[in-house]
Structure 1
């Protein structure tokens, strides 16, 4: 009896572990069932539980978009002249200041003219001598001609005298050529500017012996007004450029990397061949450059407007996203949710991209905050901007909260 009172029944001791196991199994089954229910819920329900993402959006817009081709080019002087001495001699003086603007005909340098002047005097003296001999020969020819008519002289003597006269006349012609050569050499001792332009740095000082065959010029003269820019475009743009040129004069705008306009000119030359190595076409534009903002050797961008896409569907460039499958845009759907739409684009101008497919009139695209979006995520539109420039200005002023 004592044992029965102090020791629990054997059946009761076995029931306790079974009860604990049952409770554990029941809790696990409940947790598994809840996880299955959550996994079975659609993405829209999951997204609906997340807080809305703040974004900026704009409506797609139809507009006329200018087609502007952009190429990188190098500024070149319209004329570049190496100023050399054209005769040998001593550089007597340099008559320009480095960086000076000069006109055609201005004296740039002078060489010692004494040797050239002596050659000129010698040629003139030779001509005077031959002219004097010619007078005497012509007088003798006249006398021989009269004597032969009276049979006092032979015909041979007349012919010989005629040959002497003709030889002296030829000598005078040679003397005149020698005088012209000597005069030209004397003129070349004064070095003048052949064109208008700006002088570069002086390479030779007065007192140096110069030769016409020297490789080092006295200085370099460059014409900066007007000035040229040689630039390249992909060969696929050739048709557009030719069509624009056929309609009339094509404008060209030169800018820096930051977009600062340096000058406006016109397209002057389309090269006659395409570079097979780079598949590019060279072109040249001419700019008046009255303010001399374009400088030879500088790299500039050249914008070439060649047409207009009429009534195009456009979005800001900020709305165009790139993914592994191509371009896409985030579009506001029903219930202020964000959906992804694949798109195709065309020309880009002034921060505006032409959309050729994927969007329609009335769509609103997200231009800011896309990196926080998921498909079908709820969004809160906190502002709509007409252009990317307005959106950027507001962001910089602190009015936009990211």
Structure 2
């Protein structure tokens, strides 16, 4: 057989296969898609700033009188109330000092009484010159000195009573108490030995800083008393919410940030001193914003876009993403009546043939962001 008929036969076969493949390619069915419309609602953009939880107050417990520590009357790590007895110092020495001061007061009161009686007795004698004026003035001076001594003794008794009260050390604030740093049986020194600390944690404060560009937003949040969500360090779980109560009066020249403080009720005690959290602060508010699921917005070489349908084919429409929050994207650039393909098929591309499956599914657009 000549090779030319063979070549013609092979060529015909190849062309036939190519024709079949082309025919098969044209017969690919259109992608089944669903449509959603943007949700129109007022939206507030919250930005999380890392902060440190700090006690509202911290009290360091130090004795005001020296002596032997007799009792520790609290459980470490528990909540204590203002005025609750925490420690007792042996009161024997201060009681003795009080008794001594009271005895001296009684003796000096008797002396003052005697001297005042002498003055009253000598007064008519001095008026009739039965005694010299000098003798009478001396009696008056002694009576006045005795009265002054009584006043000094009364002050000494009062001080002794205060010292005795210092033997019972009470909580100056309500809060959570720490470790007992000194155990019963040890000697404590006035104004020197540290016994424990108390942190007021309900309410509690959070210190954080924001860029100076957000200073106006911070001032507005403080003026309006806006509630700021407090989340964990990763921003995934809300622990509490509080209000912005302090804005520093200076912007740091080194970091271009301003220090803020939020106050949180912390009634459930989910916040702990030293803990790192995120303070979610509102930095932008948009009326009638367009909201789409994050998955509906794609990133292309020319920027973000969404897929719509144009004459039965997928068409990309440029949008601007203002911000993302959770599963939502706040966008602009398309009308609120636009219909966007979502969910997106895996093989979708601009120009792909598509067919709408069912009706507009905008009602299934789940809201999980922060709206106002």
Please say whether Structure 1 and Structure 2 have the same fold, judged by a TM-score greater than 0.5: yes
Bigger mean CA offset, 143-152 vs 54-63 = 54-63
CA distance in 1, matches of 2:27, 2:145: 118
**8 A contact 1:144–1:158 mirrored in 2:** yes
Q: How many residues align structurally?
A: 340
CA RMSD across the alignment = 3.5
Give the TM-score normalised by the residue count of structure 1: 0.72
Partner of 2:239: 262
Secondary structure of the structure 1 residue equivalent to 2:272: coil
Partner of 2:226: 250
Residue 237 of structure 2 corresponds to residue 237 of structure 1: no
Distance 1:348 1:169, change over 3 A: farther
Residue 62 of structure 2 corresponds to residue 84 of structure 1: yes
Deviations 1:91-129 (A, max 9, x none): 111111112222222111111112211221222122122
Partner of 2:205: 228
Equivalent residue runs for 1:51-200 within 5 Å = 58-200=36-178
Bigger mean CA offset, 261-270 vs 161-170 = 261-270
Secondary structure of the structure 2 residue equivalent to 1:253: strand
CA distance in 1, matches of 2:236, 2:363: 18
Secondary structure of the structure 1 residue equivalent to 2:352: strand
More helix by share: 1
1:305, distance to aligned residue in structure 2 (A):
4.8
1:51, distance to aligned residue in structure 2 (A):
9.8
**8 A contact 1:244–1:307 mirrored in 2:** no
**8 A contact 2:48–2:235 mirrored in 1:** no
Deviations 1:27-82 (A, max 9, x none): xxxxxxxxxxxxxxxxxxxxx99998898874444322134343222222222212
Partner of 1:359: 334
Bigger mean CA offset, 108-117 vs 381-390 = 381-390
CA distance in 1, matches of 2:135, 2:32: 120
CA distance in 2, matches of 1:212, 1:94: 17
Structure 1 unpaired stretches of 5+ = 1-47, 393-402
Distance 1:253 1:330, change over 3 A: closer
Residue 270 of structure 2 corresponds to residue 293 of structure 1: yes
**8 A contact 1:88–1:210 mirrored in 2:** yes
1:184, distance to aligned residue in structure 2 (A):
0.8
Distance 1:273 1:305, change over 3 A: same
Secondary structure of the structure 1 residue equivalent to 2:156: helix
Segments of 4+ moved more than 6 angstroms = 48-57, 366-374, 381-385
Partner of 2:249: 272
CA distance in 1, matches of 2:366, 2:40: 18
Deviations 1:266-285 (A, max 9, x none): 33333333333333333333
Partner of 1:329: 305
CA distance in 2, matches of 1:391, 1:347: 15
CA distance in 2, matches of 1:74, 1:264: 14
Secondary structure of the structure 1 residue equivalent to 2:214: helix
Give the TM-score normalised by the residue count of structure 2: 0.77
Distance 1:370 1:201, change over 3 A: farther
Structure 2 unpaired stretches of 5+ = 1-25
CA distance in 1, matches of 2:202, 2:277: 17
